[in-house]
Amino acid sequence: MRFVTVLLVFSVGYWAHGGILSTDFQTLDFTKVSNEDPRITFEPADKLTLNKDGLGWDGDTQGSYDGSFTTAPIPTGTAWRPTTWVTLTATIRPASQVFQKGMWRGALFVRYSPDKKHWSSWQVLPVGAEPKPVDNGVQFTGMIQVPRLARSSYDALFQEYQKQDVPWTCDEEAAVKWILKKQPDFFSHCLPFIGYLQFHFEGPFRGGQRITGFDYRTSWGISGPC
């Protein structure tokens, strides 16, 4: 595997109606990166390369390799009150890498985890619509949300924790530590909140046609003190 650099552009969080809303934006410039940054991996490493033109390979424009890149886990929410939903907007540049001659040539996926060890299945973006061309790229949109059904066992344990003699009954970070002492494998069968996200792109890489950039925006919210 090889690696590319993630450049943080901005991150904004603010209180609203007793809760927190946050929007984070990051851009990955494949034309200005090294191969050693662990925040992005790509495959096949023996075929794809990074240079001043981006991620891809040089060769016959009629030939192609099936390739992919994957972001490292991206933290979201807060430790003391994790979020259960995130809206997503991601753009791959240029558009020709995923759309050519009226046909889609690539797919972007996303998944989530509470702890970076146990993950949901990958789901394709966008949800319920096609990607759309924007400013020399293709934009993917969607939302991840944890259903109440998937949180039921966690909520029951959290309520049990709140009955204990603890400094702050709303501290979910402390509650999770308490739960894991009782059930070390709890997250292996329950994914009750979104602590981390991960993007994964798959598509054919044609000779001489390189991905020059990948941008993504994530927005999430949590309620005020319980």
Decide if pLDDT at 6 tops 60: no
Give percent of the chain with pLDDT exceeding 90.
66
Q: What are phi and psi of 64, to 5 degrees?
A: -155, 155
Averaged pLDDT for residues 186-215: 95
pLDDT in tens, 47-76: 998 889 999 999 887 888 999 999 999 999
Alpha helices by DSSP H, 78-204: 148-162, 172-182
* Domains in the chain: boundaries: 2-146+195-222, 147-192
What is the average per-residue pLDDT within 190-209?
A: 94
What mean pLDDT comes out for the span 193-210? 94
Q: Helix (H, G, I), strand (E, B), or coil: what is residue 117?
A: coil
The residue assigned the tokens 């003190």 is: 225
Which residue has better confidence, 127 or 88? 88
Judge whether residue 216 has pLDDT over 70: yes
Confidence (pLDDT) at 101: 62
Distance CA 98, CA 170 (A): 45
Q: What is the DSSP string of 38-67?
A: TTEEEE-TTT-EEETTEEE--S-TT-EEEE
Cβ proximity of 146 and 85 under 8 Å: yes
pLDDT-based confidence at residue 225 (cuts at 50, 70, 90): low
pLDDT tens readout for residues 92-136: 999 887 876 666 788 999 999 999 999 999 999 986 677 888 888
Range in 53-57, 135-139, 142-146, 212-216 with the lowest mean pLDDT: 135-139
Lowest mean pLDDT among 4-13, 107-116, 137-146, 211-220: 4-13
Q: Is the pLDDT of residue 77 over 70?
A: yes
Ordered alpha helix ranges (H), the chain: 148-162, 172-182
pLDDT at 9 over 50: no
The residues near 26 (Cβ < 8 Å, ≥ 6 apart) are 6, 7, 8, 9, 74, 215, 216
Cβ atoms of 211 and 97 within 8 Å: the answer is yes
CATH class of this structure's domain 2-146+195-222:
mainly beta
Q: b/e string for 71-101 if b means 16 or more Cβ within 10 A?
A: bebbebbbeebbbbbbebbbbbbbbbbbbee
User: How far is residue 213 from each of residues 1, 43, 54, 69, 135, measured CA to CA in Å?
Assistant: 18, 16, 7, 12, 12
